[in-house]
Chain A
């Protein structure tokens, strides 16, 4: 996989993962979507690389040769390092996630995960700072008034149920960004588990039917093997 030229100017993603095969896959995936990746195998390597600064996002495996990757995160936070952190782990006890986030992790991904899920999370962390807090969002033909709780397409009011409005708001705040089912579950409905039925797809389907106009424009598109994306350019 060849990285697109010009990537070297972008700040890299720092990956601390001792399992070489998985590290290589993650590197390839992230480079494939345009993020340069710097790899570290041990806690010490990771810490010194992170201290040098310049990483856009830090990805840390919690289990590093018997050491807890969280101690790295904790150390960085104690030093006042604000780099966004994604913790990946095979642990998933109820406390683990809380502990991971408390130690200064910004997001927590449990193995087994799909690579697109990982890159979507990294993307979300990278764009988090730039996320709009506005109460009025206009993207292409879509307008969202968060005070009046109204949504419009081409200036025309769309009749949305509260849950559909909530969903649209989530997409409107992340235009062009891949949104996975797990992210929707966690962020919109606060469910920290995957339901067995395809509930999310039905929600998206309902919202889509109301958003799409008769002229074939599609706003929320599927991203294969990953999730959905609000595509306002089309």
Chain B
């Protein structure tokens, strides 16, 4: 499932990155507004102060005194710095007791408010203009940037209040989309995995959103339809050939039987050999049709509760005499019952094929062991032998149709028994594999996640 996790992580990282980018853009915009507002404020206040200083610097001292006093009275927020100094730098009137360190050049300067040492002045910045009067005195006009700060604070608060939830929302939406995409990809991935296990009847899920995933899924589904159609065609051609061969084979056998009855002694051996070959062909055709019969076999709705242990016991009983005759010990641990859902006849056939194979390949003095157990809650049938075993490279191949390990040149059997067994196992959602028994082979038929143990009836 690690692939699926990786698929899930990638869209999520993408969503995170885009959320961060959006957040950065918003932050940038806010910063621009913030600094522009501050700059504009300073420029505006500077212009006003410079103008006022220019217009009023040369007014009479009495008029200025009256004007400054009136202005101070009105300035209830204490944002203005207003002072008139005489030519000696002594305060004539105003709220700045001493001339702060700035040139009387009639232009706006930024100055720390505490330089003015005015009462109530906070640790803030002020814009101050000092203009020299014709009498040598200096008119000082200033205003703190307290208002600007208030605006800036508001901006900052707005930033905090708006941007952080916005980023959270973007992240959440991104995560949601990432999760949806990842869930869909997981669905597609799982469907592909099951299709690759041979469930060609399954299709990739289509969400009907018309996006890329849907388009690919639809294309793959069409491709699967075509593959299934071709496979069916191929299979029905094969089945038809096998079918059509049955009638002539039946007749050919019968004709040979007649020939055997009347044939002279020197022809009999040939006729009997021909008969045996026809029989082999018949068995092969029967087995081939059997495989396709199993593949198109009963589906789960026809399955019933079946006791695998009982089936194994019967198979052991059936093969015991052959094993004995060969000098092979057929041992089993098959107590109790192992109930599964399945088709009894088919499971009987699968297990008989496994035993047939094991007894056939185990030399005299060897042992074949059969066990039916539950491993991790899953039904499991094991057939171990002490024969030559199966080379690692052949462990998948032996389940293919007509495959015969090179060691077996005897021609015994039709090479389809294991194929049939695997088909039957898969029909039931079981896995059939061969492992090393050191020495020998160990065939394990294990219930997969799908193969559920039948509920034990009380």
Contacts and interface: CB of A to CB of B under 8 A. Distances in A.
A115 B286 contact: no
How would you classify the secondary structure of chain A's contact residues: helix, strand, loop or mixed? loop
Given A111-B250, A112-B250, A112-B253, A194 B322 contact: no
Contacts of A199: 318-319, 321-322, 356
A91 B246 CA distance: 10
A196 B325 CA distance: 16
B345 interface: yes
B190 interface: no
Interface in A143-198: 162-163, 189-198
Q: What band does the interface of chain A fall in when counting residues whose beta carbon is under 8 Å from B?
A: 35 or more
B346 interface: yes
Contacts of A225: 257
How would you classify the secondary structure of chain B's contact residues: helix, strand, loop or mixed? helix
Interface stretch (A34-42, A66-74, A92-100, A125-133): A92-100
Nearest to B244: A90
B318 to A, nearest CB: 5
Given A92-B286, A94-B343, A199-B321, A112 B356 contact: no
A149 to B, nearest CB: 15
A134 interface: no
Contacts of B11: none
A197 B290 contact: no
Contact of B283 (A25, A29, A111, A194): A194
Interface string B269-293: 0000000000000110110011011
B257 A111 contact: no
B346 A191 contact: no
Nearest to B252: A112
Given A114-B253, A199-B322, A94 B294 contact: yes
Interface in B276-324: 282-283, 285-286, 289-290, 292-294, 296-298, 314, 317-322
A212 interface: no
Nearest to A207: B321
A111 B296 contact: no
17 contacts: A19-B247, A90-B243, A91-B243, A93-B293, A93-B297, A110-B286, A111-B249, A112-B250, A112-B282, A193-B290, A196-B283, A196-B356, A196-B412, A197-B412, A199-B318, A199-B356, A225-B257
Q: Which 7 A-B pairs have the closest CB atoms?
A: A112-B250, A93-B293, A111-B246, A196-B413, A112-B249, A90-B246, A202-B321
Interface of B: 243, 246-247, 249-251, 253-254, 257, 282-283, 285-286, 289-290, 292-294, 296-298, 314, 317-322, 325, 343, 345-346, 348-349, 352, 356, 359-360, 412-414, 417
